[in-house]
A and B are shown apart, each in its own frame.
Chain A
């Protein structure tokens, strides 16, 4: 199948998925037995029917549920996700503000996770059963099972407060004024503003949170890499490659690793989607103003438009990441091209 047909087919699959997600998100958000009135108005105001009625009218809560849903769908198709009850701004605008911080952190984390995870996975597969295998597997196990908030607090407390080696919470030092917002990505904006000092500071602030998230992600990646590598290393063509007298490096990297990549790419895609949908705990501890914090705030204040907006965003991220992963498969595995 040619690439463009493959892409069109994948794209068409995504449409019913997205509509299904809007429906499920809407039902779940409304099924919670809690009223946005009690989450958003102070005690005394809730006793005043006039204030409560004004609140319901303002946020469209006085309409029937199907009516609310179809209004939402209609608006969404025009790129309007409604206005957040909590921030009182268009949800799109909120997402524009909070998403870049998460994109930066997720990208830095996935790079860290990839380097650590793939490296550990290969090493542990090649030296299977040796000490280095046990050590890397233990690290991977700790990475997946250690609570990420504990790791985050430990890292902050040791490397920032005690040793002063790493930068603290936030995206920049408190006293530094942010460069003008162009893309919202601090690294890009500081380059655009020609401020090497801000760029350096922003990178320094990325180190700890991305290491913490990267260690977690690397746990997953290294385990998959290891098992996938082991499978391939036992395959006949690898034995053939060795018998041809190829160097071990060429055998492992070119023959084995590139064929072991499919499951690894899948887990990387999923991990990246997971990181992009906001790591609430890490963002909370590192005071990282990302989409995870926004989602948390929205859900605790029963902010329906924001909850719906984030659900849509996360759905799109997963659909998008899967889409890219599918296309990568196309390149990685010739059999898919023939199917």
Chain B
């Protein structure tokens, strides 16, 4: 038997192809409903609020569920009521009593009660999922009547309200979740079977309902007809997965998507020049810093506090901001600009090469020294970490420090960092919840400090005292003072050189109103609308 390529057959095939293509052009898309399409690189670990710790679910959970309290739509500096219309704090700051609204209904019409709140928080705590470190200060949660929830803490936690804003504290319709195999029992980590349900639907009281989710393809939200608050503008919101930034730009230009979340700094100009499109730019809380190990064994010359200070003087902060593009700023210390209590850019460090050289000479290195710098091959929010590492090399070369770069896979790199054996490294930090408390991590005796070889045993008692006060103080005015002291200390001391706070670019069609990138929930699609 012989295989024959028949040209007539090929022609027929081609004709069929062309006809079907022509058909597609005439296909009707008539749809009256208002649809928003958001293009982003999908990143999903789970849609279960108790288990999720990734950006796509964050945006979806923000509009499909409610939390007890929230931040204003355009800032994270005060707390606003959401399901709780008010709350009281006991004298000893260990008991929070939340008074709930009585008009909130879930998307299936069931009224939301204090029992749902208790179920949701207990389930979250007992599942021991990815974000469950947020519950470590919670002792118990109880309902005293259908609209009152009492939350007891085991230790003073100034950040508890900030934590309650976060998606894992979403209030679930306990009836639905139990029907789906969910439980809030103490052994929920083994017995809860509801996780799969959360990617097929939602059981919340937010303005939208999760209609469908197809992995690596799209997530579709539709309007919740029973929503208790102001109805959102769009009937349907589609999160379309477009993994590649360049392809997102193409899709935005072609009008396939209304908003592109993955725009990189180098695309900003081109998009702004395109008719009908623009880029919204804002500072992110992502803090980029160098760690210099305090243990001589790992840090070598960098373990000397004078050398640490010299490195802080040697960095070209203006140059780093140029790399990161519009919206990037220089932080004053290990607390990002815009966070409660953080210094502004007016207190940011400035480059002083002469001072750096003098400090090096004082430390016994008049001719500089050689060292290595570890960094992961990774791109964070459009910033290539390698570019940052190379900039560090050229900046420090000017004061006589010669650096050999050591690239590594992100997973391996993080393990080395965690073990505390890296001498000099490029790192970044995103807050787990929007409170400065999260940054006290970078003090002796806390994990960040330990990883930099900055041990409690070697630290001055006054610093440890300051640390403990800052961790426990709940009065905002007192907190401001304490965090100012911590930042002053970091500017003069400590094994870190924070040099950049990144920016975020969101490309969008000019007819989309209300684009804002929130540090907690990224994009709130319920606040967007379209100018017709």
Interface residues of A (CB under 8 A from B): 33-35, 38-48, 50-51, 54, 86-89, 94, 97-98, 111, 115, 118, 153, 156-157, 160-161, 164, 167-171, 173-176, 178, 196-201, 203-204, 207, 253-254, 257-258, 261, 284-287, 289, 293-294, 297, 302, 328, 331-332
Contacts of B4 in A (CB 8 A): 253-254, 258
Quote the shortest CB–CB distance from B207 to chain A (angstroms): 20
B29 an interface residue at 8 Å Cβ cutoff? yes
What is the bound-complex CA distance between A218 and B386, given in angstroms?
Answer: 36
Is A175 in contact with B131, judged by CB distance below 8 angstroms?
Answer: no
Say which residue of A39, A153, A207, A328 sits within 8 Å of B246 (CB atoms). A153
Is B418 in contact with A38, judged by CB distance below 8 angstroms?
Answer: yes
User: Across the two chains, which residue of chain B brings its CB closest to A203?
Assistant: B20
Is A167 in contact with B241, judged by CB distance below 8 angstroms?
Answer: no
Is B3 in contact with A332, judged by CB distance below 8 angstroms?
Answer: yes
B457 an interface residue at 8 Å Cβ cutoff? no
- Against A, the Cβ 8 Å flags (1 = close, 0 = not) of B404-439 are 000001011011001000000000000010000000
The 3 closest A-B pairs by CB, nearest first: A200-B24, A34-B411, A197-B27
Contacts of B37 in A (CB 8 A): 174-175
Is B3 in contact with A197, judged by CB distance below 8 angstroms?
Answer: no
Contacts of A33 in B (CB 8 A): 412, 415
What is the bound-complex CA distance between A35 and B418, given in angstroms?
Answer: 12
B475 an interface residue at 8 Å Cβ cutoff? no
Is A285 in contact with B132, judged by CB distance below 8 angstroms?
Answer: no
B513 an interface residue at 8 Å Cβ cutoff? no
What is the bound-complex CA distance between A36 and B511, given in angstroms?
Answer: 43
A-B contacts, 16 of them at CB < 8 A, read A34-B409, A34-B412, A42-B432, A45-B130, A86-B45, A97-B215, A111-B13, A169-B256, A197-B24, A197-B27, A199-B20, A200-B22, A258-B3, A286-B247, A289-B215, A289-B217
User: Across the two chains, which residue of chain B brings its CB closest to A202?
Assistant: B24
Question: Knowing A41-B130, A258-B4 touch, does A157 contact B24 (C-beta < 8 A)?
Answer: no
Contacts of B414 in A (CB 8 A): 38
- Against A, the Cβ 8 Å flags (1 = close, 0 = not) of B210-241 are 00001111100000000000000000001011
What is the bound-complex CA distance between A313 and B20, given in angstroms?
Answer: 32
B244 an interface residue at 8 Å Cβ cutoff? yes
What is the bound-complex CA distance between A170 and B217, given in angstroms?
Answer: 7
Is B251 in contact with A168, judged by CB distance below 8 angstroms?
Answer: yes
Is A173 in contact with B409, judged by CB distance below 8 angstroms?
Answer: no
Total number of B residues with any Cβ neighbor in A under 8 Å = 59
Is A42 in contact with B46, judged by CB distance below 8 angstroms?
Answer: no
Is A207 in contact with B133, judged by CB distance below 8 angstroms?
Answer: no
What is the bound-complex CA distance between A84 and B141, given in angstroms?
Answer: 34
Say which residue of A50, A51, A161 sits within 8 Å of B250 (CB atoms). A161
Is B247 in contact with A153, judged by CB distance below 8 angstroms?
Answer: yes
- Against A, the Cβ 8 Å flags (1 = close, 0 = not) of B11-26 are 0010001001111110
Is A207 in contact with B218, judged by CB distance below 8 angstroms?
Answer: no
B243 an interface residue at 8 Å Cβ cutoff? yes
Is A284 in contact with B133, judged by CB distance below 8 angstroms?
Answer: no
Is B432 in contact with A43, judged by CB distance below 8 angstroms?
Answer: yes
B108 an interface residue at 8 Å Cβ cutoff? no
Contacts of B256 in A (CB 8 A): 168-169, 173-174
Contacts of A200 in B (CB 8 A): 20-25, 27
B10 an interface residue at 8 Å Cβ cutoff? yes
Contacts of A178 in B (CB 8 A): 214
Contacts of A197 in B (CB 8 A): 23-24, 27-28
Question: Knowing A156-B247, A167-B24 touch, does A45 contact B131 (C-beta < 8 A)?
Answer: yes
Contacts of B20 in A (CB 8 A): 199-200, 203-204
B53 an interface residue at 8 Å Cβ cutoff? yes
What is the bound-complex CA distance between A285 and B415, given in angstroms?
Answer: 31
Quote the shortest CB–CB distance from A41 to chain B (angstroms): 6
Contacts of B247 in A (CB 8 A): 153, 156, 169, 284-287
Is B24 in contact with A204, judged by CB distance below 8 angstroms?
Answer: yes
Task: Name the residue among A88, A97, A171 with the largest chain B CB count within 10 angstroms.
Answer: A88
Is A175 in contact with B53, judged by CB distance below 8 angstroms?
Answer: no
Given contact pairs A51-B133, A174-B256, enumerate 18 new A-B contacts (beta carbons under 8 Å): A34-B412, A46-B418, A48-B132, A54-B189, A97-B215, A161-B253, A161-B254, A169-B247, A170-B242, A175-B238, A196-B23, A200-B21, A204-B20, A207-B21, A257-B5, A261-B3, A289-B214, A331-B1
B531 an interface residue at 8 Å Cβ cutoff? no
User: Across the two chains, which residue of chain B brings its CB closest to A158?
Assistant: B250
What is the bound-complex CA distance between A173 and B29, given in angstroms?
Answer: 10
B447 an interface residue at 8 Å Cβ cutoff? yes
Say which residue of B27, B215, B218 sits within 8 Å of A201 (CB atoms). B27
Is A293 in contact with B216, judged by CB distance below 8 angstroms?
Answer: yes
What is the bound-complex CA distance between A156 and B28, given in angstroms?
Answer: 23
Is B130 in contact with A287, judged by CB distance below 8 angstroms?
Answer: no
Is B243 in contact with A284, judged by CB distance below 8 angstroms?
Answer: yes
User: Across the two chains, which residue of chain A brings its CB closest to B5?
Assistant: A118
What is the bound-complex CA distance between A74 and B241, given in angstroms?
Answer: 36
Is B24 in contact with A203, judged by CB distance below 8 angstroms?
Answer: yes
Contacts of A171 in B (CB 8 A): 217
Say which residue of A39, A50, A286, A294 sits within 8 Å of B411 (CB atoms). A39
What is the bound-complex CA distance between A125 and B432, given in angstroms?
Answer: 64
User: Across the two chains, which residue of chain B brings its CB closest to A53?
Assistant: B128
Contacts of B25 in A (CB 8 A): 200, 204
What is the bound-complex CA distance between A80 and B6, given in angstroms?
Answer: 43
Task: Name the residue among A89, A157, A199, A287 with the largest chain B CB count within 10 angstroms.
Answer: A287
B195 an interface residue at 8 Å Cβ cutoff? yes
Contacts of B21 in A (CB 8 A): 200, 203-204, 207
Is A40 in contact with B45, judged by CB distance below 8 angstroms?
Answer: yes
User: Across the two chains, which residue of chain B brings its CB closest to A44?
Assistant: B133
Contacts of B128 in A (CB 8 A): 50-51, 54
User: Across the two chains, which residue of chain A brings its CB closest to B54?
Assistant: A42
Say which residue of B22, B27, B46, B241 sits within 8 Å of A287 (CB atoms). B241
Contacts of B3 in A (CB 8 A): 258, 261, 328, 331-332
Question: Knowing A169-B242, A203-B17, A285-B244 touch, does A156 contact B250 (C-beta < 8 A)?
Answer: yes
Question: Knowing A46-B418, A156-B250 touch, does A175 contact B31 (C-beta < 8 A)?
Answer: yes
Say which residue of A51, A169, A328 sits within 8 Å of B132 (CB atoms). A51
What is the bound-complex CA distance between A284 and B244, given in angstroms?
Answer: 6
Is B24 in contact with A302, judged by CB distance below 8 angstroms?
Answer: no
Chain B positions 24-82 with a Cβ under 8 Å from a chain A Cβ: 24-25, 27-29, 31, 35, 37, 45-46, 53
User: Across the two chains, which residue of chain A brings its CB closest to B16?
Assistant: A203
Say which residue of A43, A51, A87, A174 sits within 8 Å of B215 (CB atoms). A87
User: Across the two chains, which residue of chain B brings its CB closest to A286?
Assistant: B247
Is A98 in contact with B216, judged by CB distance below 8 angstroms?
Answer: yes
B257 an interface residue at 8 Å Cβ cutoff? yes
Quote the shortest CB–CB distance from B271 to chain A (angstroms): 12
Is A47 in contact with B254, judged by CB distance below 8 angstroms?
Answer: no
Question: Knowing A168-B256, A289-B215 touch, does A174 contact B24 (C-beta < 8 A)?
Answer: no
Quote the shortest CB–CB distance from B112 to chain A (angstroms): 28
What is the bound-complex CA distance between A88 and B195, given in angstroms?
Answer: 9
Question: Knowing A153-B250, A169-B250, A285-B244 touch, does A35 contact B415 (C-beta < 8 A)?
Answer: yes
